[in-house]
Amino acid sequence: MTRVLSLLVSICLFAGCAAGRSSLVPLEETPYPLQEKPKTDEIRHVPTGLPLSIEGMMEILSGARLVCIGETHDNLHAHRVQLIVIRELSRRFPGKVAIGMEMFREPQQEALDRWTRGELTEIEFLKASKWYDNWASDFGYYRDILTFARENRIDIVALNPSRELQDAVSRSGLDNVSEDLKANLPEMGPPDPWQRAAMKGIFGGHLPTEGMFDSFLRVQSLWEESMASRIVEYLRSPRGSGKKMVTLSGGWHVKYGFGIPKKVIRRMPMSYAILLSDEIEIPEEKRDQLMEVDLPRIPLLPADVIWYVPYEDLEGTRMRLGVRIADHGGRVIVEGVEEGSPAEKAGIPKGCEIVSFDDRPVEDTTDLFYRIGEKREGDVAIVVYRLDGVESKATVTFFRMERTKAHR
């Protein structure tokens, strides 16, 4: 019996992704279990159990054309590991490295290309890529990676399918997708029995019906087949010729190799390596979210390399307004106000439309999320809102408050 964070399960059920936390696999299931708790930034070669330096790890990863890094989405140190690998590969193979990201959908590829060409500001990029619509994590986790890619003109490839295709497959299955969407379906291979067993062990006991689990697994398969298809399409293209690709995704999309790696190899045999960043421990404030799951023993190596990292998120550093908002045809509406929040104390009412924030117009949710993200504790913002046709002004003072899933 293994314990995992229930929060991750809820994220994955709604987003269709595999859990990002690599510590879902007990350490004793590696062939050379550690005899004591790993130290911060300890790196281990899983097939031999031997410790590695960063340079030694890079020697191993450099031999692969595809480097799959499984992340914990909300851990800053997981993204630090990713940036180190991308930077070191770029140093060794200048102009011959690309990045594939689960966090972006195929329709947003043009926005990614414009970003790496330096044509968009950060907020313009967030809008064009529909970041806040497609991905639940704070952009701050990925900013340094995307900035490095931009500064070094490294191609970033959007790996996930469109929202419309994902929703259709989740709702109706692969065989009942409409004709206009069917053309975008990737080639779907047979299900992997070990992958199904692992996902069943994690999610099966926490879903009310078998049908809901099957729907989840269909979407996960669609994601991974789409990601594999996009990877191969790029590497076979003139832009990708002779390049290596580093993929960034949730841990369960690459762990054991039965996700993205296997689906890539089915299309285009190539050398690959799997790197997992694994948290040394779960923070005390997250422990109330732990739940029990039954994981089968899987006769496969979980990774080639495991890098042990501390856990640190952005929840304690980001300010929140304390509202639940939605975009209604270009109008940003407050659907809820959190008790005791900066918004409530400033008198911002439920049901109002946010018109401007610090004299800058709020045309969509990105405008509001981004401006709030610039604030620090003690900062003040002037919010103009409209209710029943009347515009009013509120002065908001930001302070630290615990984050809930429903409010910003």
User: Residue 161: CB partners within 8 Å, gap ≥ 6?
Assistant: 105, 106, 184, 186, 222, 223, 226
pTM equals: 0.89
366 closest CA partner among 124, 120, 156: 124
Identify the pLDDT of residue 22: 41
Q: Where are the domains of the chain?
A: 2-309, 323-397
The amino acid at 404: T
**pLDDT at site 23:** 44
If residue 323 lies in a helix (H) or strand (E), which one and from where to where? strand 323-328
| pLDDT tens per residue, range 101-139 | 999 999 999 999 999 999 999 999 999 999 988 887 899
Tell me how far the alpha carbon of residue 90 is from its chain's centroid.
Answer: 22
Per-residue tens of pLDDT for the chain, all 408 residues? 454 544 343 334 333 454 444 444 454 568 898 889 999 999 999 999 999 999 999 999 999 999 999 999 999 999 999 999 999 999 999 999 999 999 999 999 999 999 999 999 999 999 999 998 888 789 999 999 999 999 999 999 999 999 999 999 988 888 888 888 988 999 999 999 999 999 888 877 666 677 788 888 889 999 999 999 999 999 999 999 999 999 999 999 999 999 999 999 999 999 999 999 999 987 777 766 666 677 888 999 999 999 999 999 987 778 999 999 998 888 999 999 999 999 999 999 999 999 999 999 999 999 999 999 999 999 999 999 999 999 999 999 999 886 554 455
Report the CATH number of the 323-397 domain: 2.30.42.10
H or E stretch including 160? strand 156-160
The single-letter DSSP state of residue 200 is H
DSSP 378: T
CATH class belonging to 2-309: alpha beta
One-letter identity of residue 59: E
The alpha helices in 239-360, defined as continuous H runs, are 260-267, 342-346
Residues 245, 150: Cα–Cα separation, whole Å: 16
Position 178, amino acid: S
Q: What is the DSSP string of 268-301?
A: S---EEEEEEEESS--GGGGGGEEEE-PPP-SS-
Q: What are the angstrom distances between the C-alpha of 290 and each of 9, 278, 334, 344?
A: 10, 16, 32, 31
